[in-house]
Amino acid sequence: MEKTWRWFGTKDDITLDMLKQIGVEGIVTSLHDVECGEIWTSEMIDTCNQHIISNGLKWSVVESLPVHDAIKYAGKERDFLIENYKISLANLGKCGIKTVCYNFMPVIDWVRTDLNKEMSDGTGTLFFNKLCLAYFDVKILKRKNACLEYSDKELKKVEYLDKTISEEEKTELIDSIIVKTQKFISRGIVGANQNPVEAFNTQLHYFDGIGKEDLRQNLKYFLEKILPTAEKYGIKMCIHPDDPPFPVFGLPRIVCNQDDIEWILNSVKSSSNGLTFCAGSLSAGLHNDVVEMAQKFVSKTYFVHLRSTHVYENGDFEEASHLSGRANLIEVIRIFEKENPNLPMRVDHGRLMLDDKDKNYNPGYSLLGRMFALAQVEGMMAVVKNEITNKLYE
Ligand code: DNO
């Protein structure tokens, strides 16, 4: 696999020449300053591409070309937005950038409740705590009928937490769930001077009455329109699994398990209709067997995210070391190296450690934690490649 790295553009404190020193071969990035729904012009793409090339690297993957929510809820402006999307795709194709990651999660991309859970070794990790999520939903958002989605036991715990939580902790929770984790992804949910909770509630209402089947049909509609353009330019579209792989805040999610992915890949038959195999996102659902899924979707995977999670019995989860946890990355790497060896791969969500603690990097995207993970992944890849070369499988 090609060793790539998510880089957040020229404003990223982690620069391209730093990345070359740690063995990165390809760049994964987006035009982070362009508003979601607007056209990516050839000039903008070319400027970013030339910057990467002049640093001796290549732009391997776009992550993401974001899909506007109005396409997801089938708003009246969706056809206009889809046309814009097609123009952006064509412009990327003309500039030679041919792998595009996107997601179809309504309103909120990845969800975590704590961005720096302290581990016993002193590192910090991303954490998803179901109780904190329920608390946020029921007591902070005060979402109508939210109570129906939690058990009596969970609601009792929410009431108890309500008596003990401080105002500071509440602000931190809001910041973690809807501000910090979202703000570097297509410029976030919350605009300048907006109250985060109000902004989030407004966005949620666009999806009132939209269930799983509706969202699937809206994805199919989108794919039917954009895939011919992708095919024409040889672009591989790779949908990113939902993170976490289950519904949140009453919103439907449609990329959570094997059936969902099969449904999407079969909904529109096209060589451009593919998957981002995010081992970490999939591993956070106890219903998913990540290795089995890697085997199943290896030929339709066009981009790989390597990370792993540790899932507690009650469903809480945290990022595990890349060498442990539910994702079984050794086996996943073995499958991809054997059967689809040239895919771009990036490590995801490293631990917060050492000098990075005060650096203010995007959550999950520190330098040293990811560098450490990349070294672990490189080691696994080297062993697997050795097995393949020496035919240790036969
Ligand atoms: C978070 C990421 C996601 C991912 C997008 C892809 O760390 O895995 O933000 O990039 O969902 O569209």
Q: What CATH number did the domain enclosing 370 receive?
A: 3.20.20.150
Contact 83, 77 (CB under 8 A): no
**Residue ID of nearest Cα to ligand 1 atom 2:** 110
Domain match, 135 and 160 both: yes
Q: Does pLDDT of 343 surpass 70?
A: yes
What's the pTM value of the predicted model, to 2 decimals?
Answer: 0.97
Residue 147 belongs to some domain of the structure: yes
| Residue at a domain's end among 183, 205, 227 | 205
Residue 267: domain span: 2-110+211-389
pLDDT of residue 394: 61
> Using CA atoms, how far apart are residues 56 and 109, in angstroms rounded to an integer?
32
Per residue in 19-56, pLDDT tens?
A: 999 999 999 999 999 999 999 999 999 999 999 999 99
How sure is the predictor about 186, in pLDDT bands with cuts at 50, 70 and 90?
confident
Residue 316 falls inside a structural domain? yes
Q: Name the domain boundary from 189, 205, 221.
A: 205
Query: What is residue 393's predicted lDDT score, i.e. its pLDDT?
Result: 67
- Which of 185, 205, 225 lies at the terminal end of a domain, its last residue? 205
Q: Are both 152 and 266 inside the same structural domain?
A: no
- Counting residues of the chain whose pLDDT is more than 90, the rounded percentage is 95
What's CA 176's distance to the chain center, in Å?
16
Tell me which residues are annotated as active site.
240, 278, 305, 348-349, 365
- Shared domain for 220 and 163, answered yes or no, is no
Residue 190 lies in a domain: yes
Place of tokens 């039917």: 224
In a domain, 124, yes or no: yes
pLDDT for residue 183 is more than 90: no
- How do residues 193-213 score in pLDDT, each as one tens digit? 889 999 999 999 999 999 999
Residues with CB under 6 A from ligand 1: 63-64, 101-103, 109-110, 185, 240, 243, 364
Annotate 220-287 with DSSP letters as a single string.
HHHHHHHHHHHHHTTPEEEEPPPSSSS--TT-----SSHHHHHHHHHHS--TTEEEEEEHHHHHTSTT
Claim to verify: residue 106 and residue 139 sit in the same structural domain: no
Burial profile 111-140: b = 16 or more Cβ within 10 angstroms, e = fewer: bbbbbbbebeeebbbbbbbbbbbbbbbbbb
Count of domains observed in the chain:
2
Residues 92-109 have a mean pLDDT of 97
Q: From atom 3 of ligand 1, which residue's Cα is the shortest distance away? A: 110
Residues 373 and 241 grouped into a single domain: yes
- Do 40 and 75 belong to one domain? yes
Q: How far apart are CA 230 and CA 356, in angstroms?
A: 39
The answer to whether residues 150 and 33 belong to one domain is no
Asked whether the beta carbons of 115 and 180 are under 8 A apart, the reply is yes
Q: Give the integer Cα–Cα distance in Å for 219 and 236.
A: 16
Same domain for 103 and 130: no
Question: Quick one: DSSP state of residue 181?
Answer: T
Q: What is the pLDDT of residue 18?
A: 96
The alpha carbon of 269 and the centre of ligand 1 are apart by a number of angstroms equal to 24
Q: Which atom of ligand 1 is nearest to the CA of 64?
A: 12
Q: Rounded mean pLDDT of 253-275?
A: 98
Same domain, 119 and 102: no
Residue 144 shares a structural domain with residue 52: no
Asked whether the beta carbons of 384 and 333 are under 8 A apart, the reply is: yes
Answer yes or no: is 394 within a domain: no
- 230 and 101 housed in the same domain: yes
Residue 378 lies in a domain: yes
Is residue 141 predicted with pLDDT exceeding 80? yes
Residue 225 inside a domain? The answer is yes
Q: How far is the CA of 354 from the centre of ligand 1 (A)?
A: 25
* Residue with token string 């297509």: 186
- Assess whether 277 and 370 both reside in one domain: yes
Most ligand 1 atoms within 8 A of CB, residue of 72, 128, 178, 185 to mutate: 185
Q: How far is the CA of 109 from the centre of ligand 1 (A)?
A: 7
Query: Which of ligand 1's atoms lies nearest the C-alpha of 365?
Result: 7
Task: For residues 160-179, give the mean pLDDT.
Answer: 96
Arithmetic mean of pLDDT, 322-327: 97
Pocket mutation for ligand 1, best pick of 62, 68, 103, 178 (most atoms within 8 Å of C-beta): 103
Residue 103 lies in a domain: yes
Average pLDDT over residues 132-148: 96
- For a mutational test of ligand 1's pocket, the pick from 100, 109, 181, i.e. the residue with the most ligand atoms closer than 8 A to its C-beta, is 109
pLDDT of amino acid 159: 97
Report how far ligand 1's centroid is from the alpha carbon of 359 (Å). Answer: 21
Q: Is 164 helix (H, G, I), strand (E, B) or coil?
A: helix
Q: Is the pLDDT of residue 88 over 90?
A: yes
- Mean pLDDT score of the chain: 96
Structure confidence by residue, pLDDT tens digits, 364-384: 999 999 999 999 999 999 999
Taking the centre of ligand 1 as the mean of its atom positions, its distance from the CA of residue 252, in whole angstroms, is 17
Across 137-146, average pLDDT: 95
Please state the rounded mean pLDDT for residues 299-303.
Answer: 98
Please give the C-alpha separations between residue 128 and each of 96, 117, 311, in angstroms, as whole numbers: 38, 10, 9
Query: Is residue 293's pLDDT more than 80?
Result: yes
Give the mean model confidence (pLDDT) for residues 323-349. 97
